[in-house]
Structure formats: C-alpha cells, structure tokens
Amino acid sequence: MISFYSTNLIDQASMTASSENALFPLVNLKDDRRTKVFRSNANGDSIVFDFGTASVVNSILLVDSPRSGFGILTATFQMNTTNAWTSPAFTTTVTINTAQGFGFKEFTNQTYRYARIVLTSALGYCELSNIFIGQKITFANGMGIDLGWNYQDKELSTIKENRYGQKFVDVISRQKQISFSIRSMDKTELDQVLVVYDSKGTTKPFFARIGDASMINDPDRFAGMFYLNSIPQINNKSYGLYDISMNLEEAT
C-alpha cells in the first residue's frame, strides 16, 4: 500500500499557540525546511488551526527535526465546530515513533472548521517541525493495481581519516530515498497521483507512507516528508490502463 498526503489544510489555515518562543515562531510549521521548528515556552502547549470553513480530515502526520529529533512526548489531536475546547467533538491520540522521527494517525472522516493539537514534553518546551492535517490518497494492491518499490538510505554524515587510520565523523543523519511504480491504474487512480504532482511538483514537499503493519513490522521506516526527485514517468500500457514511476527524496 502507498498513501500520499499532499493537500495540507494548515497551508492556508490561521494558527494560534498557547505560548511561543520568539526565536522559534509558530509560522515555522509552514516552512518546508524541517530544521525550522516551532517551540513553546512550557512542557505543555496547544496549537489551534482555523481552516476558515468546515473541512474534511482523516489523517494527521508529524515529522521531527533531523537536527534535534522530536521535542515532544505526546500529541493529542482534536476537532470542533467552534474554537472552544472544554468538550471537543473529536479527540484522538497521535502515535509518536521517535526511532523513525514520525508521528501518525488515521481515522474516519471528520468535518469541522477548527482543529487543535495538544503537546507535552519534558524539555521545558515543546518543539515541532512539520505537520500535515487533511485527507489521504491511497493505492492498495487490492484495488486491482500492482505496486513495486525500492528503498535506500543516503548517508549524509561525513567521515575523514588521518594517516594513522583514525576516523573523524561529522554525524548528521541519513536521508530516505524511495523509488516506486504503480502499475495497471485506471484513469481515476492516475488522476489521484497527478493531484500530488500538480500541487507539489518537484519544488514543494508532501508526506508519503508505504506499507502497513500487516506488511511490515515498522512501516514508519518507509514514511516521511518527501520531495519528488524527478517528473513522474507515465506509460499508457493499454487502453485505459496506466503505469507510473516516481522517485522520492526525504525533505531535511
């Protein structure tokens, strides 16, 4: 299974935090660079998103900073018809995978104007890099299509060795690189893929997740925030059936 998350409601939403460090402002959540983070001033914080109108949401995803990791312990996601949170209409807990730097939760469609994420930490502040709130686009083998993909890590750390064989390592991080093909799509499924490309191209990142717990022990390893590394290759294999190949590189 391959899922895309490209139409991010927070891109156009107004945002308000219960506290904000002026050096790490809330607007950083809309910055494509994962090292540009939002930071609060306390171990507990909440961020309210106003979408302007009732909007459908079935997914929330978080990524950490490749420099400092996750600056949160827990994240609770809520939605409501008004900006009053005594008894929100919908509440769910986001699963935080610190090993993979990824937070994830999917649920049935919820349609509300306001959303809130409640964060906790033990650092004296809460820190968050990028977040997706919106609807997923999913392609599964059970739909009659065929999936194939390849994954590898690109080592970003640098290693230098002196004449005595001693190594000096500048540890940075690894970067996920995924290439895949979706074969035998019909025109509706092809249009779903093109929604991602038309909205993001090769210059704006989006979220993607490959596999689930029935296929892979830790599917978050193959999930994250990615750029399209090249323009998708589309092949009309026969009347009404299409193959597409895409290459993704993790945003850092």
- For every residue of the chain, DSSP letters joined together read -EEEE--BGGGT-EEEESS--TTS-GGGGG-S-TTS-EE-SSSEEEEEEEEEEEEEEEEEEEE-BTTTB-B-SEEEEEEESSS--SS-SEEEEEEEETTTTEEEEEEEEEEEEEEEEEEE-SSSS-EE-EEEEE--EEE-GGGT-EEEEEEEEEE--EEEE-TTS-EEEE---EEEEEEEEEEEE-HHHHHHHHHHHHHHTTTS-EEEEE--TTT-S-GGGGEEEEEE-SPPEEEEEETTEEEEEEEEEE--
**pLDDT at site 230:** 83
Q: Is the pLDDT of residue 147 over 80?
A: no
Confidence of residue 149 (pLDDT cuts 50, 70, 90): confident
**pLDDT at site 54:** 98
> In the chain, where are the structural domains located?
7-135, 139-250
Q: Is the pLDDT of residue 159 over 90?
A: no
**pLDDT at site 142:** 57
**pLDDT at site 171:** 72
Q: Is the pLDDT of residue 161 over 80?
A: yes
Report the alpha-carbon distance of residue 233 to residue 235 in Å, rounded.
7
pLDDT tens, position by position, 89-141: 999 999 999 999 999 999 999 999 999 999 999 999 999 999 999 999 987 66
Residue type at position 191: D
**pLDDT at site 144:** 61
Give the predicted TM-score (pTM) of the model: 0.90
**pLDDT at site 251:** 92
pLDDT tens, position by position, 182-222: 888 888 889 988 999 999 999 999 999 987 777 778 888 88
Confidence of residue 145 (pLDDT cuts 50, 70, 90): low
pLDDT tens, position by position, 13-71: 999 999 999 999 999 999 999 999 999 999 999 999 999 999 999 999 999 998 889 99
What is the topology classification, in CATH, of domain 7-135? Jelly Rolls (2.60.120)
Q: Is the pLDDT of residue 143 over 70?
A: no
